[in-house]
Amino acid sequence: MTSVQVTAGGGPAARVSAIMFDLDGVLVDSLRIVERAWRRWADEHGLPADAVLGVVHGRIAREVIGMFAPHLDAAEQAQLVGGYETQHGAELAAVPGARECVGIASRGRWAVVTSGARALATARLAAAGLPVPETLVAAEDVTTGKPDPEPYLRAAAALGVAAADCVVIEDAPMGVLAAKRAGMTVLAVTTTHPAAALGQADLVFPGMLDVGGWLDARAGDGPTARPGSP
């Protein structure tokens, strides 16, 4: 394993009873599609595209719209942006290492927790050749999105596990913060943001292949693993 950055004091001892993944940037490489759709939306409404792109990652679409265009119907505009994103579904691919991580996670309880809509999430997983888990928490399932802990707490409840026993893989600061607020152990990957922006995670990895190595090394260790251990 290479270039692992231990942050947040290395994190507490963690019982790994369930593994949760963010979707975009963690399992599916959709960065160009997402940013293209939001830039189009911003341009259509005369909004600063760079400012919009600076906050979209890890947030629910309707909340982003409320920040920049509170006079518009957030639900309607979110569907519009989602439509823009689906126009380029053929460009989607699994993040390198994602398939291996899902394979490890699927030996036990696992979930996907995304700020996107359910239909969009399932379509992206299918396009990338990844399975849809029984537990998928999407934008329409929560009242408040990341960085609020609600999405991850809902997933833990659905899986029937304690939040402290969950390991989360995230790529965005808002997602990392949400999982930490939920009391979970967080592994971050620098697929979307630099390591400096992910400092609240327990461990920061350069990619999902490295995360897979961390998870696989602990698959036979029993329920207890320490994020800072070799």
- List beta partners, residue 93: 29
Question: What are the mean pLDDT values of the chain's consecutive 10-residue runs (230 residues total)?
Answer: 43 70 95 85 92 85 90 90 74 93 95 94 93 96 95 98 96 96 97 94 96 80 42
Please answer whether residues 208 and 97 qualify as being in contact, where contact means their C-beta atoms are separated by less than 8 angstroms: yes
The residue type at 154: R
Which of 22, 29, 165, 210 is the catalytic position?
22
Q: What share of the chain is helix, strand, coil (3-state, %, to 5)?
A: 45, 15, 40
Tokens of 208: 């999902």
114-128 per-residue burial string, b: 16 or more CB within 10 A, e: under 16: bbbbeebbbbbbebb
Contact 220, 7 (CB under 8 A): no
Q: Which entry of 24, 29, 148, 171 is annotated as an active-site residue?
A: 24
What residues form DSSP beta bridges with 205?
189
Residue type present at position 216: D
Catalytic residue at 22? Answer: yes
Inter-CA distances, 182 with 77, 78, 201, Å: 29, 26, 13
Place of tokens 């897979």: 212
Sheet containing strand 185-189, edge to edge, reads 5-6, 203-205, 185-189, 166-170, 18-21, 109-113, 135-137
pTM: 0.81
Looking at residue 220, its pLDDT comes to 47
Q: Buried b vs exposed e over 182-206: b needs ≥16 C-beta within 10 Å?
A: bbbbbbbbbbbbebebbebbbbbbb
Active site residue 141: no
The amino acid that residue 162 corresponds to is A
Query: What span, in angstroms and rounded, lies between the C-alpha atoms of 195 and 109?
Result: 28
